[in-house]
Amino acid sequence: MIDTKAILFDIQRNSYVDGPGIRTTVFFKGCNLRCAWCHNPESQSALPQMMFYQRKCTGCGKCKEKCPHHLERCDFCGRCTLYCPQEAREICGKEYTVREVLYEILKDQSFYNSSGGGVTFSGGECMLQMDFLTEMLKRCKENGIHTAVDTAGHVPYEHFEKIFPYTDLFLYDVKCFDSGKHKQYTGVGNKLILANLKRLLATDKAIWVRIPIIPSVNDSEEEIRRIKCFLDSCKPPDKVELLPYHAMGEHKYAVIGKKVQTFSVPSEEKMKQLKNILS
């Protein structure tokens, strides 16, 4: 086995929201979008980060005392996290080998088999670490595990072609149809994203299109109708999901020293209205 390495920030077991059945979701660090509503802002940087939960800190000074650099800089040795009695510090992002991740995945193989589940590779953007992703997908298929790739699609189409033989399902995000608005709220336009989706839908791969609904950004009837019109011009995806914005990740911005942009949560009535347009 090739022991390729990648930086991940979480391996979440017993997930029910990232594809069919019971799944293990592997979160890659690093993303080439900067969505204003991102609920995993710690996923954006490709490098490890120190997360500091100020509300937990009692000011005991143990972290500064034990840090080789007295907190003036960080080389992610982990001593401050080890000695903090309140667990106020946490390193986000760790280098893993294929062997290490596969070992974690195989622990729950019986649950995948009984529920029709499997493994989902997410992020961040998992397709930015292609060598590792490809190797992981290969090893999962060799072990008879259903595989899903969760992507925003802002990568060369050749990346998709490279993993076609080992991927059972693509979870494909569509944020906005209007490219100017897409760039305003994510940092990039959507020309490549929509072009890749159109080509992907023309294949025989299983595809779930997922649309995060963000009030004041993409929750208008016009925006959803434009997305529907685009999808109607393609081979239909296997499923289209509308995902309502939630605020559960907002606290993470302060933890990594970033400012948060807040959005409201869409009402059930609004979600029903938009779903009716798509159906």
Residue 1 has pLDDT above 60, yes or no: no
Choosing among 2.60.40, 3.40.1390, 2.40.40, 3.30.70, the CATH entry for 51-91 is: 3.30.70
Residue 2 has pLDDT above 90, yes or no: no
Question: According to the model, what pLDDT value does residue 279 have?
Answer: 84
pLDDT per residue over 195-204, tens digit each? 999 999 999 9
Superfamily of domain 5-48+93-278: Aldolase class I (3.20.20.70)
Question: According to the model, what pLDDT value does residue 254 have?
Answer: 94
Question: According to the model, what pLDDT value does residue 121 have?
Answer: 98
177 vs 225: CA distance, rounded Å: 9
Q: What is the pTM of this model?
A: 0.94
Q: Tokens 């667990």 — which residue?
A: 87
Question: According to the model, what pLDDT value does residue 3 have?
Answer: 79
**CA-based diameter of the chain, in Å?**
62
Q: Helices (H), strands (E): how many in the chain?
A: 11, 10
Confirm if 26 and 101 have CB atoms less than 8 A apart. Answer: yes
Delimit the domains of the chain by residue range.
Answer: 5-48+93-278, 51-91
CA angle at residue 18 from 195 to 174, to 5 degrees? 25
Helix (H) or strand (E) holding 151: strand 146-151
